[in-house]
Amino acid sequence: MRKTFWLVSLLVVVSLVLAACGSPAATEEAAAPAAEPEAAAGPAGFGSTLATVKERGSLICGANSQVPGFGFVDADGNFSGIDVDYCRALAAAIFGDAAKVEFRPVTAAERFTALQSGEIDVLSRNTTWSLARDTELGGNFTSTTFYDGQGMMVPVDSGITSLEGLEGGTICVQTGTTTELNLADVMASLGISYTPAVFEDADSTFGAYAESRCDAVTTDKSGLVSRRAVLADPAAHVILDVTMSKEPLGPMVRHGDDQWFDIAQWTVFAMIAAEEYGITSANVDEVKSSATNPEILRLLGVEGDMGLKLGLSNDWAYNIIKLVGNYEEVYNRSLGPDTPTYIPRGLNSLYTDGGLLYAPPVR
Amino acid sequence: MTAMKPTLPPLTERSNVLRWLRRNLFGSWMDALLTILGALIVYWVVKGFLTWALVTADWRVVAANMRLLMIGQYPIAQAYRLWIGLAFLMFLSGNSLGIWARQSRFGPVLLLAPALLALLPFGAEPRKWLIILTVTGLAGWGLGLLRPEVLKRSVIAGWVISLPIFILLTRGFSESASGFMPAVQTNLWGGLLLTFLLTVVGILFSFPIGVLLALGRRSELPVIRLASVGYIELVRGVPLITILFMAQLMLPLFLPPNVTIDRVLRAMVGITLFSAAYLAENVRGGLQAIPKGQFEAAHALGLNGAQTMIFIILPQALRLIIPILVGQFIAVFKDTALVAIVGLLDLVGIARTVLAQPEFLGRQREVYAFISLIYWLLSYGMSYLSQQLEERLGVGKR
């Protein structure tokens, strides 16, 4: 009698398992190839990331879905922003198709774990380059795509003009970010005591500030500018003339795959170089056929085999410029004067215009 | 029991509104004070809310992003498949109402809801489909009224296959983009669609697992009992968010580099396994409430262990715990919001990305109010259905 009961139970379990396997969501498990020949080949430092990405047929990009101008989803369901466009450029360099990228929204707390565990191929999510992150978190920053710095915003009528004015006050800050650590460092070095009010995401941090639950709010200046624009009365808030940190933001890849690192880094350089030489998505074909500058010819793959050295095709940079644009185009699309999130170029100008953007020669 | 004639109230106790007010709200000066205070608070809250909702709030953010909130990044050209799936569910609902709730006047009204929604400023395409939903619902209802006995079996079969059909329609068939119903990868599933699927899969699969775990915990075989107890206590001892983090971020570390398990599937499995542990304890509570005499009576009738469980004990135990079960199901529904933290764009996740659109910065209140309304409507709907079911089964009355 008991046997029948267990038989019935077993049947139920088995049918459940079958149902789970039969559901179409399960069919997406990719069949694991027995070996990866690419991983073994190639010189030292060549990992398997490029091969994995090519085999998968798309790049998985850890993106932000909550920062205006850098990474968000527009009303048509498309990811948008400067960090997001970097991933499109990377996909264009690899596949010659800027659409072959799958965006995976990652939060500040989980982003490094997601990169380490291979959930994402590249992390392009306004992440600050710092020594600890470059070493112990198992990632490599490729290069800076946006030079930022931490600022402090206070209401004008508070009369506060310097950090010292915040003695004993409450400061809204997002948790799990370098912003929070910087704030503690700077205030400790100045001997100012304050109460941090920490929040999980940027929206709650600024929501609390808007409701006057704290005396000041701190984050990168880029964030302050775009957030101030939407406060009830933007003119009633002032960003203090202090820069509490260097915040170089840029894409990050895993340790241990130098080839992939090079590709990710030169994607940024190609966009900067294109701006320097005045190549845009509109005129790239014309430049390609008429240019005489050997640097431009090498960049666009007309001469030399620069792309092959990276493990890509020679028209990698041409594809980036043609399909996504040069640095200026990408910047203006998301942060330019015509957008609600306008941030002046400042440090993010070419070195020839007094900024910090400088691409090594393509040679 | 002999029928008693109702006692008429004495003539002096003629009830009218004023008398009722005086007795219940202004019985003493203390009551009067509290009443006035309460009324003022209600007035301020309601006035504040209405002023905000009707004057201050800018609902364009919700209107412009309705598609994102409902189906996330699911390609708009393929949305008709979801509507077909919904129409199928509406037909089944109407059919069931016609067969099992013939007397209910509320049922058919419910079927009109999509048509009423069509009055809101949606585009032409959603409007057309909302009206189709009502039509199929009413058609199912009519058929159910006419031929209840014939349709009973087919409607039950329909419900059984409804989830696989809905998931198949959502997922698609053809791998090539130009083929019949091209596949839509799960990373594009989002909004209410994702919340709905996570909830339904979580509830449907955790229920049988929970029942088996509860039986296992009462088993006389030590291995099965210990395994069940171990599982239940382990899973109940950790928060759901840690399970989701494990599934989304830690799992790939243990898998070979080229094996990837779909993220939505991982979230579904995580929610199912978590909910099963809680359900097991709820079911165990129900099992313990069944008197020993029921087991003895079943044995006396010659039923074996499995028959006793399936025909005598479980039906009574499950009937007893309907309110707790529904509580657990509502909890599962709301817990799915946690997947937003591990980067899935469910209703909450997509709401947070909508808030980052430059043209709608600072519209937190409108967006969160809207998704709260959706959560409340669906939770209340589940609660209402369970009350109907309890009434039908006479829970707490016999």
| pLDDT tens per residue, range B41-74 | 999 999 999 999 888 888 889 989 999 999 999 9
Q: Is the pLDDT of residue A4 over 70?
A: no
Q: Are A117 and A137 in contact (CB under 8 A)?
A: no
Q: Pick from A3, A5, A341 the residue to mutate for testing the B interface (most B CBs within 10 Å).
A: A5
- State yes or no: ipTM above 0.85: no
pLDDT band at B377 (very low <50, low <70, confident <90, very high): very high
Give the whole-angstrom CA distance, residue A74 versus residue A71: 10
Contact B167 A102 (CB under 8 A): no
Q: What is the 3-state secondary structure (H, E, C) of B97-127?
A: HHHHCCCCCHHHHHHCHHHHHCCCCCCHHHH
Tell me: do A255 and A142 sit in the same domain.
Answer: yes
Residue B2, pLDDT score: 54
How many CA atoms lie less than 13 Å away from A48 in the CB half-sphere?
13
Among the residue ranges A312-321, B13-22, B338-347, the one predicted with the least confidence is B13-22
In the predicted model, is pLDDT for residue A38 greater than 50? Answer: no
Task: Quickly state the pLDDT bin for A24 (edges 50, 70, 90).
Answer: very low
Question: CA A71, CA A157: separation in Å to the nearest integer?
Answer: 33
Residue B134 in this model has a pLDDT that exceeds 60: yes
Residues A121 and A160 in one domain: no
DSSP bridge pairs for A237: A155
Q: Specify the pTM.
A: 0.80
Q: Which residue would you say has higher pLDDT here, B264 or B20?
A: B264
Using a pLDDT cut of 70, give the percent of chain A over it: 87
Using pLDDT thresholds of 50, 70 and 90, give the confidence band for residue B343: confident
Task: Examine residue A113 and state whether it is found in any structural domain, yes or no.
Answer: yes
Average pLDDT, integer, range A20-29: 38
* Domain final residue, candidates A201, A227, A245: A245
Q: Which residues contact A169 (CB under 8 A, 6 or more apart)?
A: A194, A195, A214, A215, A216
CB-CB under 8 Å, A5 with B260: no
pLDDT score of B11: 59
Same domain, A137 and A253: yes
Query: Are B364 and A207 inside 8 Å of each other by CB?
Result: yes
Contact B351, B61 (CB under 8 A): no
Q: Which residues are CB-contacts of A156 (< 8 A; sequence separation ≥ 6)?
A: A235, A236, A237, A238
Letter string b/e over residues A20-40, b meaning 16 or more CB atoms within 10 A of that residue's CB: beebbbeebeeeeeeebebee
From CA A102, how far away is CA A63, in angstroms rounded? 10
Does a structural domain hold residue A11?
A: no
A chain contacts of residue B245, beta-carbon cutoff 8 Å: 110
Q: Which of these, B88, B87, B92, B85, lies nearest to B144 by C-alpha position? A: B92
- Is there a single domain that holds both residue A119 and residue A214? no
Q: For chain A, what is the mean pLDDT?
A: 84
How many helices (DSSP H) and strands (DSSP E) are in chain A?
15, 15
At residue A347 the predicted structure's pLDDT band, cuts being 50, 70 and 90, is confident
pLDDT tens profile A178-189: 788 889 999 999
Residue A207 lies in a domain: yes
Residues A138 and A207 in one domain: no
CA–CA gap between residue A285 and residue A275 (Å, rounded): 15
* Mean pLDDT to the nearest integer, B23-44: 89
Instruction: Report d(CA A271, CA B131) in Å as an integer.
Output: 50
Nearest residue of chain B to residue A22 (CA atoms): B164
Beta strands A170-174; A195-199: pairing state: parallel
C-alpha span between B208 and B210 (Å, rounded): 5
Report pLDDT for B6. 66
State yes or no: pLDDT of B257 exceeds 70: no
When pLDDT is cut at 50, 70 and 90, the band that residue B21 belongs to is confident
Q: Is the same domain home to A132 and A270?
A: yes
* Helix runs in B105-190, H state only: 106-111, 113-117, 124-146, 148-171
Same domain, A253 and A296: yes
Find the closest chain B residue to A112 by CA distance: B249
Task: Give the single-character DSSP code of B175.
Answer: S
- A13 within some domain: no
CB proximity list for B32: less than 8 A, separation 6 or greater: B25, B26
* Angle at which helices B322-335 and B191-217 cross, to 10°: 140
Chosen domain end from A218, A245, A272: A245
Domain count, chain A: 2
Cβ-defined contact of B249 to A203 (cutoff 8 Å): no
Cβ distance A147 to A190 under 8 Å?
no
Residue B210 sits at the chain A interface (C-beta within 8 Å):
no
Check CB contact under 8 Å for A75 and B357.
yes
Is residue A18 a part of any domain in this protein? no
Read off the CATH number of the domain in which A175 is found: 3.40.190.10
Q: Which of A12, A23, A118 sits opposite B257 (nearest CB)?
A: A118
What distance in Å separates the CA atoms of residue B94 and residue B75, rounded to the nearest whole number? 29
Residue A338 is assigned to a structural domain of this protein = yes
User: Per residue in B296-328, pLDDT tens?
Assistant: 999 999 998 889 999 999 999 998 898 899 999
Whether B257 sits inside 8 A of A25 (CB atoms) is: no
**Number of CB atoms found within 10 A of residue A293's CB:** 10
Section A63-85 average pLDDT: 89
State mean pLDDT over A119-124: 92
Note whether A225 and A264 are same-domain residues.
no
Report, as an integer, the average pLDDT of A83-95.
95
Instruction: Give the H or E element holding residue A219.
Output: strand A216-220
Q: Which residue has the higher pLDDT, A227 or A89?
A: A89
Q: What is the pLDDT of residue A336?
A: 85
Same domain, A69 and A185: no
Tens digit of each residue's pLDDT (9 = 90 or more) over A297-311? 999 999 989 999 999
Whole-number average pLDDT of chain B: 87
Range of the domain at A108: 46-147+249-353
Angle of helix B191-217 versus helix B148-171 axis, rounded to 10: 110
**Strand ordering across the sheet containing A216-220:** A195-199, A170-174, A216-220, A150-155, A237-239
CA A56, A330, A65, B200 torsion: positive or negative? negative
Do residues A60 and A180 both lie within one domain? no
pLDDT digits (tens, 9 = 90+) for A246-264: 889 999 999 889 999 999 9
Write down which residue in A229, A245, A261 finishes a domain: A245
Residue B287's pLDDT band (cuts 50, 70, 90): very high
Residue A6 covered by a domain:
no
Take residue B92 and report the two structure tokens written for it. 């089944």
Among B74, B167, B304, select the one facing A24 at the smallest CB separation.
Answer: B167
| pLDDT at residue B234, rounded to an integer | 94
Shared domain check, A197 and A234: yes
A109 in a structural domain: yes
Q: Tell me which of A38 and B302 has the higher pLDDT.
A: B302
A338 and A299 inside one domain: yes
Our CA-based measurement puts residue B344 at a distance from the nearest CA of chain A, in whole angstroms, of 7
Q: For residue A310, how many other CB atoms are within 10 A of its CB?
A: 21
Q: What is the pLDDT of residues A199-219, one digit of tens each?
A: 988 888 988 998 889 999 998
